[in-house]
Amino acid sequence: MTAIVDYGVGNLFSLSCSLRSIGEEIVITSSPDEILAADRVILPGVGAFGDAAALLRESGLDKTVLTCAEDGKPLLGICLGMQLLFERSFEFGEHRGLGLLKGSIVPMEGRIPEYLKIPQIGWNSLSFKKQHPLLKYIRNGDYVYFVHSFFAADCEESLVAVTEYGCEMTAVAARDRVMGCQFHPEKSGEVGLSILKAFCEMN
Amino acid sequence: MLTKRIIPCLDVRDGRVVKGTKFEQIRDVDNPVRLAEFYSDNGADELVFYDITASYEGRALFTDILRETASRVFIPLTVGGGINSVEDFDRVLKCGADKVSVNSGAIRNPDLITGAAQKYGSQCVVLSVDAKRVGGQFRVFSHGGRVDTGLDALKWIRDGISRGAGEIVLNSIDTDGVKNGFDIEMLRAVTEISSVPVVASGGAGSAKDFVTLFQKVPGVDAGLAASIFHFGEVQIPELKNLLAEKNIPVRRRVFP
């Protein structure tokens, strides 16, 4: 059973459909008890970092997520949910994240050539930096679907895979059982489903 | 490297896929959910569902189809047609759409773009523009290409982007249905002024037309077509192989 943390941001329809399609039982919940009782936890998110971090704290679910990480429960952040796992973000000011992964979220603007459009929208390939169970069913070079204007930097320690968009950008980060994907596995076809399947096999 | 996207477009009326040639004659093609699965399995990078229903019943049927598609097909879905309010965004996003495209609704009320971008983010808001040459100008047409709005397309696109549109779909009425290639001239003009991704639509008749598109208009991000895919005249795997041979970056399966 995987719990999807519902803290009021984003649309969880596609994510829940994708998990059900691989046979995973899910619960979309804002209840700390249900989250703590689940085998695995997914932290989703779209929108602005500051707003999402505030919602997560107001709901008190930040503490629940931190407890899950301490307990060694597999935790997967997706897109903005992945960015929230880091220490801080420089999206419109400076905001504090959950601090589960070392590093900062920085804007693409000024870090990539001007001819590249921001946000990066579309399918880009993954280059593996190290082996990780999350990637066990996919291959180096597989394509996944990105929609983002910011990315995680200064996170060599947790870097698992990158994508090339004017510079190398963090695509997958992980430390122990805390994992994050900058892209949307629920929108990345068979490759994305394979990543979710690998996650759902972790206990 | 970010790849160029290939996007089949499904016009849906009363629960079935239809395709108008020059926006007029309409032929029945297939079941939308089945066709969407087929395209996804064959390497489509994204799908556009266009609701051309007028009735309330048809609209309800459309959202049912959308929900069923989103529960089976795990690639990005864009939905357009009949989007006139932020509530319409809400209705289709809840059923699994990732992006919503506005056209006539935004011409009538440009604040729709602003409001939707504020609520859902620019990445969600696609401005779809039907344009045609009139008196040396690219002119915006509304109502499925029937009504000349008098708006200059380039000016309208700039305005739409500044209001928060995160992507432009440019459909050239001059080349649509002719199957003699995309409107290179119009697309060049649009990609020059657009800071957001541009999707080319209207005129694809063969796989070579996509090669010409991406070679001659490097700023274009995606090619959209309907009938050539629906009638099997162009198969997406062959199209992608051809593009890759020409060194145009496309997503192909590394995955077995």
* Sequence ranges of the domains in chain B: 5-245
pLDDT of residue B20: 52
- In the prediction, which pLDDT does B21 show? 47
Q: For chains A and B, what is the number of CB pairs under 8 angstroms?
A: 85
Contacts of A139 in chain B (CB under 8 A): 254-255
Q: What percent of chain B has pLDDT over 90?
A: 77
**B193-225: per-residue pLDDT in tens?**
999 999 999 999 999 999 999 999 999 999 999
Report pLDDT for B56.
Answer: 79
Please check whether residue A113 touches B, CB under 8 A: no
Give the one of A46, A122, A191 whose C-beta lies nearest to B221's C-beta.
Answer: A122
Q: How far apart are the C-alpha atoms of B93 and B100, rounded to whole Å?
A: 8
Q: What is B5-245's CATH superfamily?
A: Aldolase class I (3.20.20.70)
B56 to chain A, any CB pair closer than 8 A? The answer is: no
SS in 3 state form for B77-127?
EEEECCCCCHHHHHHHHHCCCCEEEECHHHHHCCHHHHHHHHHHCHHHEEE
Show the tokens assigned to B208: 């070579």
Residues of chain A positioned with their CB less than 8 A from the CB of B255: 138-139, 142, 190-191, 194
CA B72, CA B37: separation in Å to the nearest integer? 7
At B256 the pLDDT is 52
Instruction: Compute φ and ψ for B110, nearest 5 degrees.
Output: -60, -20
pLDDT of residue B27 exceeding 60: no
- Can you tell me which residue has the tokens 């009139």? B134
What pLDDT does residue A196 have? 98
**What's the CA gap between B23 and B37, in Å, rounded?**
25
> pLDDT category, B59, cuts 50, 70, 90?
confident
Instruction: Pick A11 or B33 by higher pLDDT.
Output: B33
pLDDT at A41: 98
What tokens does A183 get? 């892209």
Residue A128 banded pLDDT, cuts 50, 70, 90: very high
pLDDT at B26 over 60: no
Q: What is the pLDDT of residue A9?
A: 77
Among B3, B76, B254, whose Cβ lies nearest the Cβ of A124?
Answer: B3
Question: Tell me: the pLDDT tens digits for A69-95?
Answer: 999 999 999 999 999 999 999 988 999
Report how far residue A185's alpha carbon sits from residue A11's, in angstroms, rounded to the nearest whole number.
Answer: 14
Catalytic residue among B88, B130, B183, B221: B130
Phi first, then psi, for residue A109 (nearest 5°) are -55, 130
Q: What's the mean pLDDT in B121-128?
A: 93
Among A47, A143, A193, the residue with its CB nearest the CB of B251 is A143
Please tell me the predicted confidence (pLDDT) of residue B23: 40
Best A9, A12, A14 member to test B by mutation, with max B CBs in 10 Å, is A14
Q: Are A142 and B254 in contact (CB < 8 Å)?
A: yes
Mean pLDDT across A39-59: 93
Q: Does the distance separating the beta carbons of A145 and B76 come in below 8 Å? A: yes
Which listed residue (A68, A79, A181, A200) is catalytic?
A79
pLDDT-derived band of residue B254, with 50, 70 and 90 as boundaries? low
Span A2-200 CATH architecture = 3-Layer(aba) Sandwich (3.40)
3-state secondary structure of A201: coil
Residue B28 has pLDDT above 60, yes or no: no
Average pLDDT for B31-59: 89
Annotation says B130 is catalytic: yes
Residue B2 and residue A120: Cβ atoms within 8 Å? yes
- Put simply, the answer to whether A188 touches B93 (Cβ < 8 Å) is no
Are B98 and A187 within 8 A, CB to CB?
A: yes
Residue A25 annotated among the catalytic residues of the structure: no
**Of A120-129, A173-182, A192-201, B7-16, where does mean pLDDT reach its minimum?**
B7-16
Is any Cβ of chain B less than 8 angstroms from the Cβ of A141? Answer: yes
d(CA B160, CA B128): 10
**Catalytic residue status for B11:** yes
Q: Order of strands, edge to edge, in the sheet holding A40-43?
A: A26-29, A2-5, A40-43, A75-78, A178-181, A168-175, A159-164, A127-128
More confident residue, B111 or A91: B111
Which band of pLDDT confidence, cut at 50, 70 and 90, is reported for residue B246?
very high
Q: What is the pLDDT of residue B208?
A: 98
Terminal Cα distance for chain A, rounded: 10
pLDDT, residue B24, reads 45
Read off the pLDDT of each residue in B222-231 and give the average, rounded to a whole number. 92
Q: pLDDT-based confidence at A47, cuts 50/70/90?
A: confident
In whole angstroms, give the CA distance from residue B4 to residue A80.
24
pLDDT in tens, A132-158: 999 999 999 999 999 999 999 999 999
Choose the weakest-confidence range: A27-31, A125-129, B232-236. B232-236
- Among candidates B222, B252, B254 on the partner chain, residue whose Cβ is nearest the Cβ of A139: B254
ipTM for the assembly: 0.93
Q: Which residues in B lie closer than 8 A to residue A46 (C-beta atoms)?
A: 121
CB B69 within 8 A of CB B33: yes
Considering only CA atoms, which of B97, B85, B94, B104 is closest in space to residue B124?
B97
In this prediction, residue A157 carries a pLDDT of: 94
Domain range annotation of chain A: 2-200
What is the torsion angle, in degrees rounded to the nearest 10, for the CA atoms of residue B49, residue B52, residue B54 and residue B58? Answer: -40
Residue B160 has pLDDT above 80, yes or no: yes
A188 and B75 in contact by Cβ < 8 A? yes
Residue-averaged pLDDT of chain B: 92
